[in-house]
Every structure is written in C-alpha cells, then in structure tokens.
Amino acid sequence: DQQVKQNSPSLSVQEGRISILNCDYTNSMFDYFLWYKKYPAEGPTFLISISSIKDKNEDGRFTVFLNKSAKHLSLHIVPSQPGDSAVYFCAARLQGAQKLVFGQGTRLTINP
Amino acid sequence: DTGVSQDPRHKITKRGQNVTFRCDPISEHNRLYWYRQTLGQGPEFLTYFQNEAQLEKSRLLSDRFSAERPKGSFSTLEIQRTEQGDSAMYLCASSSWERQGSGELFFGEGSRLTVL
C-alpha cells in the first residue's frame, strides 16, 4: 500500500526555468510533509517541510505547496540551477508517529 | 565532520553469512532510525530508537534482523543468514528533540549490502 506516491520517475528542465515536482498521498492523518534531495553515493538531505495546517512554505528558491483537499503537494524550484540535478523524495509523517513514509523519488535533471 | 556516519560503506557477502552495520549519529541527537532503500524506491522504515530504547519495529524487520543501541549513542544493525533479497542500501538517520516536531531527519551516506 503506497501511501505516498511520486508518479513521475524523471523530470528534465532547462537551467533558469521553474522545476515542479509533484507528490500525492492517501492518508489524511499525515501531519508533516518533507522534501529530501539525494545525490549519488550520498544519503538524503533535508530540503524543506510543511505542516498540514499550512498551504505554503518558502525557503529561498524552494517553495512547497500543500493542497489538502486534493491530497497533493508540490515542490517548486525557481530558478533551477545545474546543482539541483538530483533525486527528490517526498516524505510524510503520521500524526503521533516518528517514522517517515517516502515516495519513490523523482530524478530531476537541469539542462544548461 | 559531525554528521551521521555509517560503516562499512559497502559490504559484499555470500548468501547465508551474517553481516553487521554500524551507525554513529550526530552526538546530541537522542533519536536514531534505520531505513532500507532498494533500487528505484524511496527509503523504507525499519526501526527507531529513543536513547537506548527500541520503540518501533517495522513488519519488514524479520527475525533475521536485529538492531541495538546499547548506550544510547551508536547503533548496530545485524542481518543473520543473509538472503539475496536483503541486498539494499541501509540508511541510518538521527534527529534531535528540537527538530522532531517537523519530522526532519539527518541521514548518513548509507551502507550498501550486496548478497551473492
């Protein structure tokens, strides 16, 4: 039962343009959503998070939007830079729990 | 460097052998987690510790798997009688009291297991 889904395995974007990564979830009891970035041969690194009581959180070039009615969140990166090329994981935490449930990941490639 | 460190980075073993992975979390972090990641998938939760107490174990953690955190600092993950299906990246993560509200975890670089 995949509670967190990233339906796009890969995404290619031109440098300077906006990158939009999408994530869908099924469990309405998730209270926090996070995005992680992973380079090859490294562990995932935290990027940005959002509480379920908010609909937007912004940190520099990164903005996460949450649409609870649609059970959908998205990560916007603008402008995209070559160093943003990585695998991005969406994750969610159940209220009262400690573990994170991860999506399958989306490989983002920024083309010069 | 004061990040999460894992050892070994890569382990190749024959089916049926036992393997052990070690994780040293960020020193002030009281929570430690083990995740497993297979090709094309996101990390899957295995277990977590608060200090030395193991508070949750996933159904993925069969009887062949055992994790310990004896003094509330480093942790070990042992897999007995390895099977080819155990081949994966084993990720350790830690979190602090202050960050646990948002669920933010700090991951190590992982230990890749290959079972022949």
For residue B104, the model assigns a pLDDT of 85
Q: Which residues of A touch B (CB under 8 A)?
A: 4, 6, 9, 32, 34, 36, 41-46, 49, 51, 89, 91, 93, 97-105
- Strands B10-13 and B111-115, by their bridges, are parallel
**Would you state the structure tokens that stand for residue B95, as one six-digit string?**
């979190």
**Is B44 part of the contact surface with chain A (CB cutoff 8 Å)?**
yes
**Would you state the structure tokens that stand for residue A27, as one six-digit string?**
């469990």
Up-side HSE of residue A72: CA atoms within 13 Å toward CB? 8
SS3 state at A82: helix
- Closest among A68, A70, A46 to A55, alpha carbons compared: A68
Residue of chain A with shortest Cα separation from B57: A99
Residues found in chain B: 116
CA angle, corner B34, sides to B28 and B40, nearest 5? Answer: 130
Instruction: Report the share of chain B in percent with pLDDT over 70.
Output: 95
Interface test with B, best of A100, A101, A106 (most B CBs within 10 A): A100
pLDDT at A58 over 70: yes
Residue type, A57: N
Q: CA of B39, closest CA in chain A: separation in Å?
A: 10
Cβ proximity of B81 and B18 under 8 Å: yes
Residues found in chain A: 112
Give per-residue pLDDT as tens, A21-41: 999 999 999 999 999 999 988
For residue B1, the model assigns a pLDDT of 53
Confidence of residue B101 (pLDDT cuts 50, 70, 90): low
**Is B45 part of the contact surface with chain A (CB cutoff 8 Å)?**
yes
CA angle, corner A103, sides to A76 and A30, nearest 5? Answer: 85
- Strands B75-79 and B65-68, by their bridges, are antiparallel
Q: CA of B97, closest CA in chain A: separation in Å?
A: 12
Sort out which chain A residues have CB atoms less than 8 A from B58's CB and list them: 99
**Is B25 part of the contact surface with chain A (CB cutoff 8 Å)?**
no
Give per-residue pLDDT as tens, B44-99: 999 999 999 999 999 888 899 999 999 888 999 999 999 999 999 999 999 986 66
